[in-house]
Structure 1
Amino acid sequence: MLEKMAGTFSQLYVQIVFAVKGRENLINKTWKDELYKYISGIIKGKNQKPIIINGMPDHIHIFIGLKPSVAIADLVRDIKNNSSNYINDRKLVKGRFSWQEGYGAFSYSHSHIADVYNYILNQEEHHQKRTFKEEYYNFLKKFEVEFDEKYLFDWIE
């Protein structure tokens, strides 16, 4: 007798944002694309769908199609741990590279994919107009995320 299994169907889109520890400008243009490809591989390895990865020297944006089989916290932990090891094993920075604790995760509907993709693609352009701190505060306000200032990233002024 053939048993039918109920399938799980989902369409979740999440933008994840996190910063280099101390908000240092350590992500270099000469190797950032390789780092993004590596992170994309981590995401695919967790059976998730990377849509676009981009950022600035001090922070990164990752837009993914998320299946509910993986908790966002676990995915971010694995991305941070493995990408830190990737940077350190290749000695791409002086000293030890690490990401700051914490991250932002913001969900979007299918109709917003193109807008989010273009926003992430054009990071350099956005950051000519506003700092990462301003950008991050805007995300928290736009998505009505309650936060305590003391638990946000360590900002370097």
Structure 2
Amino acid sequence: MSQSLVKNYVHIIFSTKNRVDFIDETIENELFSYIASLCKDFESQALQIGGTDNHIHILCLLSRKIALMKLVQEVKAHSSKWIKTKAEKYENFFWQDGYAAFSVSPTNVNTVINYIKNQREHHKEFGFKTEILNYYKKYQIEYDEKYLWD
């Protein structure tokens, strides 16, 4: 094959350090827009970004030119630096070290978009810990509990 053709939808989840409630509704739209522009800079179009006060979800079409780990690293580094300049209350903002990422079938993209759009509503029923553990179970991901909540 003389050309490289790739279409990888990836659902990325990561939280604020120690799940501190930093992402309030006054900053979230601007933060999500900024993260979308970062994804675009790395040729990984963000289809939907959402979250709650202590974590975010990104559904993107991962570029064939960047490793997932590098994209997450760049998004976290640049957005963390950016948010610290927005107001004094964000000066101590940090993202957690790790992240979770899951492949998404093209047939499930709309379902994931709707799920991400409604994060605040979902989390009236259950917390981040329940959510992420459900994803690990669904995707059969083995994990060490001692590293989950540091």
Fold shared by both chains (TM-score > 0.5): yes
Q: Per-residue displacement from partner, 1:43-83 (whole Å, max 9, x unpaired)?
A: 00001111000000000000001122111110000000000
4+ runs deviating over 6 angstroms: none
The answer to whether the 8 Å contact 2:11/2:101 transfers is yes
Match of 1:132 among 128, 137, 142: 128
Report if aligned partners of 1:54, 1:120 keep a CA contact under 8 Å in 2.
yes
Structure 1 residue 144 and structure 2 residue 143: aligned?
A: no
Aligned to 2:115: 119
Larger radius of gyration: 1
Is residue 86 of structure 1 aligned with residue 86 of structure 2?
no
Q: Which runs of 5+ in 1 are unaligned?
A: none
**Residue 124 of structure 1 aligns to a residue in which SS?**
helix
2:13 alignment counterpart: 17
Of 31, 44, 61, which aligns to 1:65?
Answer: 61
Instruction: Give the AA of the match of 2:42.
Output: K
Moved more, 19-28 or 88-97: 88-97
Could you tell me which amino acid in structure 2 is paired with residue 25 of structure 1? D
Q: What is the alpha-carbon root mean square deviation over aligned residues?
A: 1.3
Partners of 2:22 and 2:90 within 8 A in 1: no
Q: TM-score, normalised by structure 2?
A: 0.95
User: Structure 2: which 5+ residue stretches go unaligned?
Assistant: none
Distance 1:94 1:53, change over 3 A: closer
Deviations for 1:76-131, whole angstroms, at most 9, x for unmatched residues?
A: 00000000000112235254110011000011110000100000011112111111
Query: What is the alpha-carbon distance in structure 2 between the residues aligned to residue 101 and residue 32 of structure 1?
Result: 20
2:126, 2:149 → 1: CA distance? 17
User: Which residue of 2 is the match for residue 77 of structure 1?
Assistant: 73
Match in the other structure for 2:45: 49
**TM-score normalised by structure 1 residue count:** 0.91
- Corresponding residue SS for 1:47: coil
Amino acid at match of 2:108: H
Tell me the amino acid that sits aligned with residue 55 of structure 1: G
